[in-house]
Chain A
């Protein structure tokens, strides 16, 4: 069931969509923020603020799939085409967000999350047991408290910051953006942090249990952990690479860069 309510005196709109388990929501918004939070119940609730009459919101529902699109009209620009979205969804909803400017925020979800942006700030927090896919050209990405996640981030220039992120797979691919990880690398996961020129800094507690490989072709590599040596198929050149295990080596951690500086720090 769909209901549209026009708030008097404001260019606000609100949409309600009744969905079943594991619904799919897609929001495409060229200019403006999108914020997604979970809420109990079986409804997707979309609150919209339009900045002008040069933009309208197109919406559709097909079964369990809801599509929301900011439709720019003739003459729209970044200011007049801006739409602010606040969205409430059942926690198991799979969410896809596209925006040029953002910011984009999602929290307290356990459905799959796909976020794509050119320059938007992306903030994701409190996600559990879900796939998180993020693609950004130049916007900074911040992930906080992602548990049991399957995380894949690709960034050209945006810095990627991860705080308490763990799961079976955490993969970050950056060209020139920095990669900052602060966490314990969980137990039994695979962590691959790769950059071309961006620095990689990983901070972990002394009790971390990791099998770590770090290599930088041209950059400097530093390590604060006492490592148990392990056999490697490549030459471990001091200052450019290190490899070894800490504790029971539960998780695999690879820190690879072409010319970025790599530092594995002990908290």
Chain B
């Protein structure tokens, strides 16, 4: 077994699952012995961390900088850098690179899943303005689709504009939910989420009010 092969199964080894071949390599390789020893120590210490022992923000920032320099955190271009409300603040920082990569993958999926809309210009002022609203690329939910169908019947010239408004507020809601869920104790994140929902409610109210015959 080579050192590269040994490192591939390192997580299992840290958890205590070792084959005879892995044990043999560990006995004979000084470098891998040191690596396993260090990681076992860090893993043990992380479990012992209590909330009152949480490192200062400067420590987390330093860790983040180091991980970025090593290429373990590599945000995709133009994507959220896993923001400010929580990151690297939980014990067990060994999971940080995996969490960071998962977050980046989620951001890429969301970006690829967003639909950029170019509503057709219509005769109403709202549709004329809607061409400027295509930035704001949230999804359209099934309830949104029902609202748009109502508009298609009662106020067809406004449908495109309201679809653009809905995408914009849905993007707002998505980002706000993400921030709030990442730290439920963050008061500003909760306020931000309420603001996003308020926007969504306003779009619905105004759409239904305008569509009344």
The yes or no answer to B61 lying at the interface (CB within 8 A) is yes
Task: Determine if B83 and A218 form an interchain contact, defined as CB atoms under 8 angstroms apart.
Answer: yes
Query: Which of A77, A100, A192, A236 is in CB contact (< 8 Å) with B126?
Result: A100
Q: How far is the CB of A219 from chain B (nearest CB, A)?
A: 10
The yes or no answer to A263 lying at the interface (CB within 8 A) is no
The yes or no answer to A237 lying at the interface (CB within 8 A) is yes
Q: Map CB proximity to A onto B183-204 as digits: 1 under 8 Å, 0 otherwise.
A: 1011110011001101100110
Query: Which of A101, A156, A258 is in CB contact (< 8 Å) with B176?
Result: A258
Query: Which of A137, A176, A234 is in CB contact (< 8 Å) with B135?
Result: A176
Residues of A within 8 A of B161 (CB): 118, 137-138
Residues of A within 8 A of B125 (CB): 78, 100-101, 118-119
Task: Determine if A234 and B172 form an interchain contact, defined as CB atoms under 8 angstroms apart.
Answer: no
Q: Map CB proximity to B onto A165-192 as digits: 1 under 8 Å, 0 otherwise.
A: 0000000010110000000000000001
Task: Determine if A138 and B171 form an interchain contact, defined as CB atoms under 8 angstroms apart.
Answer: no
Q: How far is the CB of A158 from chain B (nearest CB, A)?
A: 10
Task: Determine if A176 and B136 form an interchain contact, defined as CB atoms under 8 angstroms apart.
Answer: yes
Residues of A within 8 A of B57 (CB): 235-237
Expressed in whole angstroms, the Cα–Cα distance for A267 and B26 within the complex equals: 66
Task: Determine if A256 and B123 form an interchain contact, defined as CB atoms under 8 angstroms apart.
Answer: no
Residues of B within 8 A of A216 (CB): 84
Q: How far is the CB of A247 from chain B (nearest CB, A)?
A: 23
Contacts of B128-151 to chain A: CB distance below 8 A: 129, 132-133, 135-136
Expressed in whole angstroms, the Cα–Cα distance for A240 and B123 within the complex equals: 42
Q: How far is the CB of A121 from chain B (nearest CB, A)?
A: 11
Expressed in whole angstroms, the Cα–Cα distance for A8 and B106 within the complex equals: 68
The yes or no answer to B169 lying at the interface (CB within 8 A) is yes
Task: Determine if A217 and B175 form an interchain contact, defined as CB atoms under 8 angstroms apart.
Answer: yes
Residues of B within 8 A of A218 (CB): 80-81, 83
Task: Determine if A241 and B84 form an interchain contact, defined as CB atoms under 8 angstroms apart.
Answer: yes
The yes or no answer to A196 lying at the interface (CB within 8 A) is yes
Expressed in whole angstroms, the Cα–Cα distance for A237 and B161 within the complex equals: 38
Question: Which chain B residue lies CB-closest to A196?
Answer: B172
Known: A156-B199, A258-B172. A116 touches B84 (CB 8 A): no
The yes or no answer to A154 lying at the interface (CB within 8 A) is yes
Secondary structure dominating the interface of B: helix
Query: Which of B169, B195, B206 is in CB contact (< 8 Å) with A194?
Result: B195
Residue with the greatest number of chain A CB neighbours at <10 A, chosen from B57, B175, B188:
B188
Task: Determine if A196 and B84 form an interchain contact, defined as CB atoms under 8 angstroms apart.
Answer: no
Interface size range on A against B: 35 or more
The yes or no answer to B210 lying at the interface (CB within 8 A) is yes
Secondary structure dominating the interface of A: loop
Task: Determine if B84 and A240 form an interchain contact, defined as CB atoms under 8 angstroms apart.
Answer: yes
Q: How far is the CB of A120 from chain B (nearest CB, A)?
A: 9
Task: Determine if A194 and B84 form an interchain contact, defined as CB atoms under 8 angstroms apart.
Answer: no
Residues of A within 8 A of B136 (CB): 175-176, 197
Task: Determine if A138 and B133 form an interchain contact, defined as CB atoms under 8 angstroms apart.
Answer: yes
Residues of A within 8 A of B210 (CB): 100, 118
Q: Map CB proximity to B onto A58-101 as digits: 1 under 8 Å, 0 otherwise.
A: 00000000000000000001100000000000000000000011
Residues of B within 8 A of A241 (CB): 84
The yes or no answer to A144 lying at the interface (CB within 8 A) is no
Expressed in whole angstroms, the Cα–Cα distance for A217 and B191 within the complex equals: 14
Question: Which chain B residue lies CB-closest to A216?
Answer: B84
Q: How far is the CB of B116 from chain A (nearest CB, A)?
A: 14
Residues of B within 8 A of A194 (CB): 191-192, 195
Task: Determine if B126 and A119 form an interchain contact, defined as CB atoms under 8 angstroms apart.
Answer: yes
Task: Determine if B129 and A119 form an interchain contact, defined as CB atoms under 8 angstroms apart.
Answer: yes
Residues of A within 8 A of B168 (CB): 156-157, 175-176, 196
Q: How far is the CB of A128 from chain B (nearest CB, A)?
A: 26
**New A-B contacts (11) at CB < 8 Å, excluding given A176-B136, A217-B84:** A118-B125, A138-B126, A157-B165, A176-B135, A213-B188, A218-B81, A233-B185, A235-B89, A256-B188, A258-B172, A258-B176
Closest 6 CB pairs of A and B: A217-B83, A196-B172, A173-B195, A235-B57, A194-B195, A119-B125
CB<8 Å pairs between A and B, sample of 10: A78-B123, A100-B126, A100-B210, A119-B126, A135-B206, A138-B132, A156-B199, A173-B195, A234-B188, A241-B84
